[in-house]
């Protein structure tokens, strides 16, 4: 997560897109202008608002999740993006080309070039092997048999299924079948992968595994994934940004934590009511640098004690010159060591607290929680290069949660 989409390459742009089902849309536009709701419009005209006035861009490399209650327009919106459903009006630009203006030939070419779709139902063909299923779609794209084999095999390797390439779908578990579905989506090496509730049919454990798989596949890739989900935990877990839909409208778009902090309205707020903030915030989001740090090359027992007394602190976080984390020493242990005459006062080794493992800044607060109870000191937070980024104390943790609107319900 955490793509800075504002600097990215705009791969897909949707402008003023509408889909109105059921006949001449004219009266529906009028009524929408007057602020009338979807239900009233349906009652009076028989027309259904599928999507109204959608405007957004999706960037290269991001996972863009579309969320909303049943009937809010998620599937319609995603099917507008590859014109599986014809928009009633508006523009859909794929790599700057408006697909709503294309004839069938151009559209087919554009779809082949840029897009693939992965469905919830897996849509596997029972009479084809896993490998043939993964290769399905490549033939129409005009690849030679050799290339088809290679690409399908490489996609199966990516999802860890190359060992069952010659099996038939029915011999596989649900999770494995969905992996084949994913491999088929990947085999065409799409710039844009549309995933419609792709993991919804899976049981929770396998579903989490597939989400991890998708995140892994996205690492360093500039593929755009547009993912429909009605599950907020899933959206928060995989989405760089989330679009929330209600009655065909996109009511808010943003990074998961942005939306959670500033929900646009009560509908959005209601979505987030059940969310555990410890799954949303990362350690890096809340870590502070209020604890004493001390450079390893200068660290003697007396020098550290003096600094701790000056700042009235109990613990010092010892860092190398490049700020990589070494360990935590405590005032108590320093005192004990200084009282022991056999210990050289220039050596702080005996003052380290035992087994204080730092937590990575991209870990969720959920992962920090056990350390908070286990460690006597605030939990040290580091980046992927083990550089010190700050600490999280119990006090800070609770204060962060208490700022969240749903704290009382969840932790009371
Ligand atoms: N082919 C169609 N003809 C008429 N109305 C349709 C058609 N397809 C969708 N709708 C209506 O458009 C609205 C949006 O439906 P859509 O399937 O996009 O919602 P959704 O958010 O994907 O729902 P779900 O989560 O249940 O799949 C609904 O009111 C639906 O009844």
Q: What is the CATH number of the domain that holds 98?
A: 3.40.50.300
Instruction: Give yes or no: residues 390 and 324 share one domain.
Output: yes
Q: Which of the four pLDDT bands, split at 50, 70 and 90, describes residue 405? A: very low
Quick one: which atom of ligand 1 is closest to the CA of 21?
4
Q: Which of the four pLDDT bands, split at 50, 70 and 90, describes residue 139? A: confident
Quick one: which atom of ligand 1 is closest to the CA of 73?
18
Instruction: Give yes or no: residues 250 and 382 share one domain.
Output: no
Q: What does the DSSP assignment read for 128-179?
A: S-HHHHHHTTTTTTT--HHHHHHHHHHHHHHTT-GGGTTS-GGGS-HHHHHH
Q: What residues flank ligand 1, with Cβ below 6 Å?
A: 21-22, 48, 50, 68, 70-76, 230
Instruction: Give yes or no: residues 220 and 269 share one domain.
Output: yes
Burial class of residue 27, CB neighbours in 10 A (0-12, 13-18, 19+): middle
Look at the chain and report how many structural domains it folds into. 2
Question: Domain range holding 240?
Answer: 5-125+191-275
Q: Rounded to the nearest whole angstrom, what is the distance from the C-alpha of residue 368 to the centroid of ligand 1?
A: 41
Q: How many CB atoms are located within 10 Å of the residue 231 CB?
A: 16
Nearest-CA residue for ligand 1 atom 31 is: 71
**pLDDT value at residue 257:** 83
Q: Rounded to the nearest whole angstrom, what is the distance from the C-alpha of residue 73 to the centroid of ligand 1?
A: 6
Nearest-CA residue for ligand 1 atom 5 is: 21
Instruction: Give yes or no: residues 308 and 258 share one domain.
Output: no
Indicate whether 185 belongs to any domain. no
Residue 333 sits in a domain of what CATH number? 3.10.580.10
Burial class of residue 33, CB neighbours in 10 A (0-12, 13-18, 19+): exposed
Question: What burial letters (b/e) apply to 267-283, b meaning 16+ CB within 10 Å?
Answer: bbeebbeebbbbbbbbb
Indicate whether 149 belongs to any domain. no
Q: Rounded to the nearest whole angstrom, what is the distance from the C-alpha of residue 204 to the centroid of ligand 1?
A: 26
Q: How far apart are CA 140 and CA 295, in angstroms?
A: 63
pTM of the predicted model over 0.80: no
Domain's final residue, options 256, 275, 294? 275
Q: Rounded to the nearest whole angstrom, what is the distance from the C-alpha of residue 70 to the centroid of ligand 1?
A: 8
Average pLDDT, the chain: 89
Nearest-CA residue for ligand 1 atom 13 is: 50
Question: What mean pLDDT do residues 333-357 have?
Answer: 93
Q: Range with the lowest mean pLDDT among 12-26, 93-107, 192-206, 254-268?
A: 192-206
Question: What mean pLDDT do residues 199-218 have?
Answer: 82
Name the packing angle between helices 145-158 and 174-187 (round to 10°): 130
Contacts of residue 196, Cβ cutoff 8 Å, sequence gap at least 6: 75, 78, 117, 118, 119, 120, 228
Instruction: Give yes or no: residues 233 and 114 share one domain.
Output: yes
Q: Rounded to the nearest whole angstrom, what is the distance from the C-alpha of residue 249 to the centroid of ligand 1?
A: 13
**pLDDT value at residue 403:** 64
Instruction: Give yes or no: residues 236 and 337 share one domain.
Output: no
pLDDT in tens, 247-281: 999 999 999 888 988 889 988 888 877 677 777 78
Domain's final residue, options 208, 241, 275? 275
Indicate whether 134 belongs to any domain. no
Indicate whether 209 belongs to any domain. yes
Is a pLDDT exceeding 70 seen at residue 224?
Answer: yes
Indicate whether 271 belongs to any domain. yes
Indicate whether 155 belongs to any domain. no
Instruction: Give yes or no: residues 74 and 211 share one domain.
Output: yes
Instruction: Give yes or no: residues 289 and 392 share one domain.
Output: yes
Indicate whether 22 belongs to any domain. yes
Share of the chain above pLDDT 70, in %: 95
pLDDT in tens, 146-190: 989 998 999 898 888 899 999 999 999 888 888 888 888 888 888
Pocket test for ligand 1, best of 17, 19, 20, 21 (most atoms within 8 A of CB): 21
Q: Rounded to the nearest whole angstrom, what is the distance from the C-alpha of residue 69 to the centroid of ligand 1?
A: 11
Q: Rounded to the nearest whole angstrom, what is the distance from the C-alpha of residue 51 to the centroid of ligand 1?
A: 9
Question: What mean pLDDT do residues 217-221 have?
Answer: 87
Instruction: Give yes or no: residues 223 and 116 share one domain.
Output: yes
Domain's final residue, options 275, 309, 339? 275
- Phi, psi for 303 (deg, rounded to 5): -60, -40
Q: By the 8 A CB rule, do 185 and 153 touch?
A: no
Instruction: Give yes or no: residues 203 and 244 share one domain.
Output: yes
Integer angstrom CA distances of residue 381 from 12, 135, 261, 289, 321: 37, 45, 23, 10, 17
Number of H helices and E strands in the chain, helices first, is: 17, 16
Is a pLDDT exceeding 60 seen at residue 79?
Answer: yes
Nearest-CA residue for ligand 1 atom 1 is: 21
Instruction: Give yes or no: residues 302 and 271 share one domain.
Output: no
**pLDDT value at residue 109:** 87
Indicate whether 131 belongs to any domain. no
Question: What mean pLDDT do residues 18-32 have?
Answer: 95
Q: Which of the four pLDDT bands, split at 50, 70 and 90, describes residue 282? A: confident
Instruction: Give yes or no: residues 232 and 371 share one domain.
Output: no
Nearest-CA residue for ligand 1 atom 14 is: 73
């Amino acid at each position: 997560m955490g793509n800075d989409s504002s600097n990215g390459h705009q791969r897909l742009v949707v402008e003023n897109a509408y889909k109105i089902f059921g006949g001449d849309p004219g009266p529906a536009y009028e009524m929408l202008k007057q602020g009338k709701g979807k239900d009233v419009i349906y009652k009076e005209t028989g027309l259904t608002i599928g999507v109204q006035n959608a405007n957004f861009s999706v960037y290269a490399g991001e996972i863009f999740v579309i969320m909303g209650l049943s009937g809010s327009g998620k599937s319609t919106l995603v099917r507008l993006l590859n014109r599986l459903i014809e928009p009633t009006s508006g523009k859909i630009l794929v790599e700057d080309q408006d697909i709503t203006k294309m004839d069938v030939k151009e559209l087919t070419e554009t779809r082949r070039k840029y897009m693939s779709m992965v469905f919830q139902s897996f849509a596997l063909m029972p009479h084809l092997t896993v490998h043939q299923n993964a290769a399905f779609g490549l033939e129409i794209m005009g690849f030679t048999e050799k290339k088809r084999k290679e690409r399908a095999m490489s996609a199966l390797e990516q999802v860890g299924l190359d060992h069952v390439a010659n099996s038939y779908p029915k011999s596989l578990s649900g999770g494995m079948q969905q992996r084949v579905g994913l491999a088929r989506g990947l085999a065409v090496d799409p710039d844009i992968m549309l995933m419609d509730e792709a993991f919804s049919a899976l049981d929770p454990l396998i579903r989490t595994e597939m989400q991890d798989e998708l995140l892994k596949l996205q690492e360093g890739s500039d593929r755009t994934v547009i993912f429909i989900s009605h599950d907020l935990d899933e959206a928060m877990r995989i989405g760089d940004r989330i679009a929330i839909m209600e009655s065909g409208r996109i009511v808010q778009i943003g990074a998961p934590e942005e939306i959670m902090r500033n929900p646009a309205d009560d509908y959005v707020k209601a979505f987030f009511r059940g969310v555990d903030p410890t799954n949303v915030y990362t350690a890096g989001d809340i870590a502070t640098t209020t604890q004493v740090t001390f450079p390893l090359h200068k660290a003697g027992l007396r020098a550290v004690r003096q600094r701790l007394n000056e700042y009235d602190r109990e613990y010092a976080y010892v860092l190398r010159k490049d700020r990589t984390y070494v360990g935590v020493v405590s005032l108590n242990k320093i005192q004990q060591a200084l009282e022991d005459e056999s210990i050289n006062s220039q050596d702080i080794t005996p003052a380290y607290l035992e087994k204080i493992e730092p937590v990575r800044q991209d870990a969720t607060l959920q992962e920090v929680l056990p350390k908070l109870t286990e460690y006597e000191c605030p939990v040290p937070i580091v980046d992927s290069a083990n550089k010190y980024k700050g600490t999280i104390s119990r006090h800070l943790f609770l204060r962060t949660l208490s700022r969240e609107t749903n704290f009382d319900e969840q932790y009371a």
